[in-house]
Structure 1
Amino acid sequence: MTQLGTLEELPQSYRDALTERNLVPLWPAMRSVLPYKVPTRDTSVTKWDYQSLRPLLMQAGELTPIEKAERRVLILANPGHGLENIQATPSIYLGMQLILPGETAPNHRHTPSAVRVIVEGEGAFTTVDGEPCKMERGDLILTPAGKWHEHTHEGDGPIVWLDVLDLPLIYRLNGSWAIEGELQNSDKVRDKSYSDYSAAGVVPNINLTRGSDNTPQLRYPWSKTRACLVEMAADHSDGLLSISYVNPETGRSIFPSIGFGAIMLRPGETQTLPKRTTPVIFHVLEGEGSMAVEGHPSTDGTPQGFVEKDTLSAPGYTHITLTNLSSSEPLFLMTADESPLHEYLGIF
């Protein structure tokens, strides 16, 4: 590999002349922007421990009323990207959001697309363009780009969910903005999305075509997804058990920018995932296990344990091995990644 010239080798007068004219020489930075064989991977192996995160989130509920927060969220920032950049991966934002009984996170809409994964609590619902979506543990609630949405809690105790947005992507495209609105009125008892699509929305990870328009389904109940994985396990004694959340009308990804899925590991099982270009987020829905990542400077490949409600990140171009540490109970994980975007760009 040829050793390219450095910036320091250029005369200072020449460098000053370039700077005055908003010019930058490419060759000193060539290896950093176009490295050989493996790209720069800022996403580091990270675990957000819910047991230690939760008290800080509850304290936020004491310190900041919803009127002063609009959205009471602690951002899960990946240190590889810098905490100030609010990135879990290059284009995915994660946050743990808290709403207390009797509170409403006010109605607004914005250009980034969002999914809410319910972590704990009951008695809350999200209204999306007039459709009330019940929020139960493990459910995916969608608020696609441009749709009005508000969150209301009528139950007892706190409710917490994991926000997953394509905010870093939209922000860096200078396309991120929001509009506030009046509270929504709805006479619907339940979300139309559930009644229309309750028997659809998840398919095995086989021959999927991604990158479609957003799905019309707004709520993906965990009970349906879990039952699908359990039924798959009954038919297959080995092999990776995984599904993708898809648009029920097209079979494509629910968002063009982020792909969502779920994985089940049988009791005591270990599975190495297919090596892929995209980083991946894991959220533990049920069970306990470990994750080992090989092929990245942020880890030496030592397995990292996790339990229910923890959230983890792993970079792309690595070997990811998941193990179910229970000998009697299955392990269930929700996944989020950039595969629809990678496929659209032709780099997947």
Structure 2
Amino acid sequence: MSTQLGTLADLPARYVEDLASLSVVPLWPSLRAVLPYGIPSRSTVPFAWRYADIRDHLMRAGELTPIEKAERRVLVLSNPGLGLERMMATPSIYLGLQLILPGETAPNHRHSPSAVRFVVEGTGGFTSVDGEKCPMEKGDLILTPSGLWHEHGHEGSGPVVWLDALDLPLVYAMEASYCIEGEKQSIRNAADRSQTTYRRAGLVPYASLNRKRADYPLIRFPWREVRQNLLDLATAVGPGEPVHLAYVNPETGQECLPILGFSAQMIRAGEEVAPPRRSASSVLHVIEGRGVSEIDGTTLAWSEGDTIAVPTHATVRHRAEGGAPAFVFHVDDAPLQRKIGIYEEF
């Protein structure tokens, strides 16, 4: 079949105008734009947000805008290929660096997009999710799923910063994004109950065997335990093989949120890893270490606190440098792609 499809210029202008008056357009002039051969058309570009460059501006935001005027004091990481005004890291992933200062409270609310918080720096912060108060320490992952009440606070000293990751671009595109404000939460459970209840892989509360599996039984994933698990796994994984762990629902083994997936990877010192080319878009946040990534021919150096965008169908290589391992947090849209049957690896 020929790929030289007809264009709008081939059609009589009056015919095109008549169609437009009916809110109708011909497909064939735009067919290759929406169904290209080979790989999808992509506007997302490989890009690195340098935490060292952004941090001073985030602290300045704390001086310029009190929390009462911000509700959530966030600098959004916007992919330049998608347009800064669209507030997208990839077409499915919103990212923001959020700052909270000692004594501040980000008020209680809930919203239709699902979110996670991944702590970048600081101590003394907490997030309360549906009455469960979760401490926030560097590298911790905390879920705030769609529809669950959540608020943030700071009981320590110094700034606390975390990376927000939401499925906001997709929910907004469906015209389904909204928020509801609520009263301050009453903490009704022991602090960090979800983590202490699901302390060890392979063990769940016995009562859970006789009830419907919980949608979100585990809200907080402490980095100190994930890091140790990665170190242990590295001793059992051969050279060149990925040291990579997924965050999952402990009662079902499935992804912990329905649209976005989360995982942690260790890249051993001096090691280069080349994951399969995937249909999913993703972002990488550097927890520890430094290195270099090559993404579709673009070379990006990275270090602690940096965040990197990876387009769909990208060819990727990562290398840890500096004589020490690197630890990286991943966000991707593979769970949604699996659900709708389009996920692929090449």
Shift of the alpha carbon at 1:177? 0.6
Partner of 2:73: 72
More divergent stretch after superposition (236-245 vs 212-221)? 212-221
Aligned to 2:310: 314
Give 1:215 deviation, angstroms.
2.9
Matched with 1:209 is none
Mapped to 1, the partners of 2:9 and 2:17 lie a distance apart of 12
Instruction: Give the Cα separation in 2 of the matches to 1:55 and 1:90.
Output: 27
Is 1:244–1:262's contact at 8 Å kept on the other side of the alignment? yes
After superposing on structure 2, the runs of 4+ consecutive aligned residues of structure 1 that deviate more than 6 Å are none
Structure-2 separation of matches of 1:302 and 1:20: 44
Aligned to 1:205: none
Q: Does 1:304 align with 2:300?
A: yes
- Secondary structure at the counterpart of residue 59 of structure 1: helix
User: Quick one: which of 246, 268, 284 aligns to 1:282?
Assistant: 284
Q: Deviations over 1:97-143 (max 9, x none)?
A: 00011000000000000000000000011000100001000000000
Residue 126 (str. 1) matches residue 127 (str. 2):
yes
Cα distance in 2 for residues equivalent to 1:262 and 1:23 = 47
Name the SS of the counterpart of 2:44 in structure 1: coil
CA distance in 2, matches of 1:111, 1:187: 24
Mapped pair 1:246 → 2:248? yes
Of 142-151 and 3-12, deviating more is 3-12
Match of 1:90 in 2: 91
Equivalent in the alignment of 1:110: 111
Amino acid at match of 1:247: N
Q: Deviations over 1:11-56 (max 9, x none)?
A: 2211111111111111110000010111112221010000010011
- The residue type paired with residue 321 of structure 2 is L
Letter in 2 for 1:34: L
Give the distance between the partners of 2:199 and 2:89, measured in 1 at CA.
31
Give deviations 1:245-304, integer Å, cap 9, x for gaps.
00000111011100100110111111111111011100000000110012xxxxxx2431
1:59 and 2:82 matched: no
Match of 1:258 in 2: 260
TM-score, normalised with respect to structure 1: 0.93
Instruction: Look up the match of 2:165.
Output: 164
Residue type of the alignment partner of 2:249: N
CA shift for structure 1 position 213: 8.0
**Matched pairs, number:** 332
Secondary structure of the structure 2 residue equivalent to 1:79: coil
Letter in 2 for 1:109: R
Supply the distance in 2 between the matched residues of 1:36 and 1:152 (Cα, whole angstroms): 50
Alpha-carbon offset, residue 326 of structure 1: 2.1
d(CA) in 2 for partners of 1:237, 1:255? 30
Deviation of residue 147 (structure 1)?
Answer: 0.4
Q: Please name the residue that 1:324 is paired with.
A: 320
Partner of 1:14: 15
- 2:45 is paired with a residue whose SS is coil
8 A Cα contact 2:46 2:298, kept in partner: no
Length-normalised TM-score, structure 2: 0.93
- Equivalent residue, structure 2, for 1:216: 217
Q: 1:237: Cα distance to partner?
A: 3.7
Q: Paired residue for 1:345?
A: 340
Once the two structures are aligned, what percentage of the paired residues are identical? 51
Gaps of 5+ in 1: 202-211, 295-300
Q: Please say which of residues 143-152 and 184-193 is displaced more in the overlay.
A: 184-193
Paired AA for residue 316 in structure 2: I
Cα deviation, residue 2, structure 1: 2.7
Asked whether the 8 Å contact 2:132–2:188 carries over to 1, the reply is no
Corresponding residue for residue 43 of structure 2: 42
Q: Which runs of 5+ in 2 are unaligned?
A: 203-212
The two structures, once aligned, show a CA RMSD in angstroms of 1.5
Distance 2:9 2:266 in 1: 53
